[in-house]
Chain A
Amino acid sequence: MSIAILKAPSVSVASVDVARTLRMGLLLGGVGVYLAAVGILAMFNERWIIVGLLTLGYGVLGLVYLVAGMISARRGAGLMTALASGILSGAIAGLTVSVLGLVIGPFSLQSVFTQLNGKLADSLALGLAPLSGLLVMLGIGAVCGAIGAILRFTPLTVRRPLVIAALVTVTAGLFQELIQIMLQDGPLTPVQDLIYEWEGLTAQGAAIVFVVAFILALIGVQISRRRARAAAAKANADSGQSLTKMGMIFLVLVLLPLMGGNYIGQVLLLVGLYILMGMGLNLEVGLAGLLDLGFVGFFAVGAYVTALLTANHPMAILHLNFWVAMPIAVLASVVVGVLFGIPVLGVRGDYLAVATMGLGEIVRVLVVSDAAKPLLGGPLGITQVPKPAIFGYGLTTPIQLYYLTLVASLVAGLIAWRLEGSRLGRAWMALRDDEDVAAALGIDRIECKLLAYGLGAAFAGLAGSIFAVMLASVYPSSFQLVVSINVLALIIVGGMGSLPGVAIGSLVLIGLPELLREFGEYRYLFYGVALIFMMQFRPEGLMPSKVRKRELHAAMGETSEPAVPTARAA
């Protein structure tokens, strides 16, 4: 290794691996074409990051070129070579995208691909004449590719703050409406005037945000590195860290709706419900390894039981108080969970996923069908579910219901957290890792699995119960298979078997698309990509549980050394 560093890097541009560079450029150019064909580009072009200068669409295209440059620049080859290949592949990617713009009109692609219209062609030519547009696009590609290549050569201590600063700037631009509302009419109004105008960030505002974020991130990275080193010296000192993380997350969750108003409250309410469900599915998938795709069924049971017991609707059986109905709904979910679990007890692994999905679909079709209409109201559902009240104080607004959800998820989280370390939790993990060995060690498989289904269902039932009062009605269309997939996606993105991961995953996958309403159409596309990428590159999730991380990385044969030494090599 040391010899390789001592050897003088070859600076000749001729050593660029042309075939590979071309391939990367074309590949990323293909990504750009894909974004255009699916319609993401056109939609993103509607949104300014920096007013008059950069739309989200062009930002994403630039990112694509940058990635092209980044992956085709190889560290081993030396800076100049890398720079050359970065420029080349960025330019190729740019060329690919602008060629698409040129062929849209002549080949009348719009007759098949609805998104490829004249407006898109114009925006791909940057509003210029075709040829000059192509040249400018080529230039942009080359520049972004070069930046990507250079980024690869910057040490991690600088690169990370740069990335963070860029992300913060984009966030500030995207959520401008929200942030402006928060800043308005407070002591921070001057800040608002400084960086924002009507539609988004101003150019100077973007620069200010970027620089401030960069400096803060630089300091932050230094501090965390120092702390990591200190922690490495004192073995295993980070046991308190996950608690602090969780505490911070919950602090944000408590304060956010107070600052953001009803809309934020509504979004967070949904996030909270998914956190509840995520914690439930986490017991099944994350701890016990039972991949359950019929999970939405338990959610539906919670909602329907609540509605049937409380609603002012001819279909309702009783007219109970919410606080009486909720425990009954949870209990009913548990019972259904166990009943659901019994037939599939002997089914393992991937077959289990399909079997549970089939069960979920059966329930859904039955609920919609005429056969169950006299009981459950068919496709029209049950309406007029009353809102709950505490001591005569009604919980009617989304924010009030959100706090109900928050309390529920805190309690549920506490239970889940205690379960994780308990005898039962360890038995689940043993089952997950090897069922036969676990059984040989005396773990009662039937009991453990049924407890996983039942307890997981309890969480979902609770979420369903609150969901029913949130909408004040229940329709079968709310309980599609997608809900199960959503919950699965969020615990995978967050980190299987990790409670803070569930919160993060839910915020990212449920909260963000709700806030970026107009992108909501593409959220499932994003979920699909997220599932594929997470499984390939970061199977432990964004915020993994410690055990899981250790296991996965041990399995991949990586050393547990921290990332510090890489910076020294540069």
Chain B
Amino acid sequence: MAVQIPEDRLKIARLSRISIVDVLLWALRIGVLGVVIAGTIGTLINGRYGWTQWVDFVVFGLTLGSIYAQIALGYTMVYGVLRLINFAHGDFMMSGAFSAFFVANAFYRSGFLESHPVPALLCILITSMIVSTAVALLAERFAYRPFRRVVGLAPLICAIGVSFFLQQTFRGMFGSSIRAYPDPSWQRATISFLGIEVQAVELLVIGLAVLFMIGLYLIVQYTKMGKAMRAVAEDGDAAALMGIDVDKVVVFTFMLGGAMAGIAGVFYCFVYKQVYFYMGFTPGIKAFGAAVLGGIGSIPGAVLGGFFLGLVESVGPALFLDGLGIPGPYQLRDVIAFTLLIMVLIFRPNGILGERLGKKRA
């Protein structure tokens, strides 16, 4: 007994489905786009910034982007394998940065950091990676493993708990003050090129980031464990049936993610020259946004999203906001980043490179 619904009724129903909500969402899109365009035009007409400054912004954006991309890689891999937003990932970075600080500080006092930058840097990177990895593995073992088969909000809330726990642990152990990361002369060096002065550290960060990302890509693409990882990300149950030890893969994923976070921690120290217990939170959330932007679960996506976010955040205040005459546009850097994050979550949860994940989530 199928009930016939007249065609015009259906049309009305469909029209009323295009509700106020849709209208408002469109208004939001157009509004944000309008602000961006108006601001850009205003800034360009103003001509307050010369092109060397723009290059500066871009280089700084790429540097920030390397940090975000490095963190986003961990998010994306863990999400791919476990479908878990690892809220504490930014805090893994924080733990790496703290250990980097202690090693660098010791080297700085002994003069080793000044005289032998390369071995010192290697030591710092390795320590940071080891500590971040250890923290990531501990978190996996004690906090996340019991939730392997649990869906819903419980794992996420637990992850928030882990984030808090790590922050407060570091606060308890090392105090709540902001500590200055040592600044030897080679970190302050600049390179001029075609009349543009660029900080050497920024180039170093970008270069190292690209290097590590290529390394990660090779591991994931060409090692047996990487293959297993991709298989689990594709379909965990089927992978288990094929004889893949899912637990091992998860541990491996956290290891890789932790190591990447550790590298990001060192980069953060280079760029901001400070460490404190709360430092991981904002970059962590932003990097999550970057991972979603690139398409969560996709490694090239995370890199792309990270660099894009870094660029938008660095260029944005000058380009979009200054032209509108908003006072103190640089205070609103985070607003730009978070707006981007929310727009992506609302309008394009699949991301740029994301494919099939759209409907599966929730």
Contacts and interface: CB of A to CB of B under 8 A. Distances in A.
A532 B349 contact: no
Nearest to A285: B153
A508 to B, nearest CB: 15
B342 A524 contact: no
A102 interface: no
A199 interface: no
B292 A358 contact: no
Interface string B145-162: 011000011111110111
Given A38-B172, A528-B163, A446 B327 contact: no
Contacts of A114: 173-175
Contacts of B362: 348-349, 435
Interface of B is mostly: helix
B156 A350 contact: yes
Contacts of A354: 85, 285, 288-289, 292, 341, 345
Interface stretch (B19-27, B237-245, B253-261, B298-306): B19-27
A349 B153 contact: yes
A350 B147 CA distance: 15
Contacts of B162: 528, 532
B342 A365 contact: no
A519 to B, nearest CB: 12
A113 B173 CA distance: 6
B342 A527 contact: no
A505 interface: no
B335 interface: yes
A362 interface: yes
Contacts of A355: 341-342, 345-346
A430 to B, nearest CB: 15
A371 B326 contact: yes
A528 B146 contact: no
Interface string B24-53: 110010000000000000000000000000
B348 to A, nearest CB: 11
A37 B349 contact: no
A64 to B, nearest CB: 16
Given A113-B173, A358-B338, A361-B338, A351 B164 contact: no
Interface of A is mostly: helix
Interface in A475-495: 485, 488, 492
Interface residues of A, number: 55
Contact of B157 (A39, A525, A531): A531
A524 B168 contact: yes
Nearest to A435: B362
Contacts of B143: 532, 536
Contacts of A527: 161, 164
A396 B182 CA distance: 51
B339 interface: yes
A359 B339 CA distance: 8
B136 to A, nearest CB: 15
A371 B164 contact: no
Given A353-B156, A354-B285, A113 B174 contact: yes
A343 B158 contact: no
Contact of A289 (B102, B147, B153, B339): B153
B234 interface: no
Contacts of B102: 112
Which of A115, A345, A362 has the largest number of chain B CB atoms within 10 A? Answer: A362
B331 interface: yes
Contact of A536 (B146, B172, B289, B342): B146
B116 interface: no
A112 B102 CA distance: 7
A488 B160 contact: yes
Nearest to A38: B172
B167 interface: yes
Interface string A349-373: 1110111011101100110111101
Contacts of A521: 172
Interface string B167-179: 1110111110000
A532 B161 contact: yes
Contacts of A346: 346
Given A343-B342, A349-B362, A361-B338, A115 B168 contact: no
A280 interface: no
A333 to B, nearest CB: 19
Contacts of B175: 114
A347 interface: yes
A59 B164 CA distance: 25
Given A353-B156, A355-B341, A531-B161, A369 B328 contact: yes
Given A38-B169, A488-B157, A528-B165, A349 B341 contact: no
A347 B331 contact: no
A279 B275 CA distance: 37
Contact of A365 (B155, B166, B335): B335
A539 B154 contact: yes
A488 B155 CA distance: 14
A369 B349 contact: no
Given A37-B173, A291-B153, A531 B164 contact: yes
Contact of A358 (B157, B285, B326, B361): B285
Contacts of A529: 161, 165
B120 interface: no
B251 interface: no
A118 to B, nearest CB: 17
A278 to B, nearest CB: 15
A492 B327 CA distance: 41
B19 A446 contact: yes
A112 B275 CA distance: 14
B355 interface: no
B327 A371 contact: yes
Contacts of A357: 285
B169 to A, nearest CB: 6
Nearest to A482: B164
Contacts of B154: 535, 539
Contact of A528 (B168, B285, B288, B338): B168
B247 interface: no
B197 interface: no
A525 B85 contact: no
Interface in B49-95: 85
Contacts of A370: 327-328, 331
Contacts of B19: 446
A417 interface: no
A361 B334 CA distance: 8
Contacts of A365: 331-332, 334-335, 338
Interface in A486-514: 488, 492
A179 interface: no
Contacts of A289: 153
Contact of B21 (A40, A342, A528): A342
A522 interface: yes
Nearest to A43: B172
A351 B328 contact: no
A492 B157 contact: yes
A357 B87 CA distance: 12
A535 B158 contact: yes
Contacts of B335: 362, 365-366, 369
B339 to A, nearest CB: 6
A362 B339 contact: yes
B172 A525 contact: yes
Contacts of A359: 338, 342
A530 interface: yes
A347 B164 contact: no
A525 B21 contact: no
Please name the 4 residue pairs, one residue from A and one from B, whose CB atoms are nearest each other, closest first. A531-B161, A528-B165, A528-B164, A38-B172
28 contacts: A34-B169, A38-B169, A39-B173, A112-B102, A113-B174, A291-B156, A346-B346, A347-B345, A348-B361, A349-B156, A349-B362, A351-B349, A354-B85, A354-B341, A355-B341, A358-B339, A359-B338, A365-B332, A365-B335, A370-B331, A488-B160, A521-B172, A522-B168, A522-B172, A525-B164, A528-B162, A529-B165, A535-B161
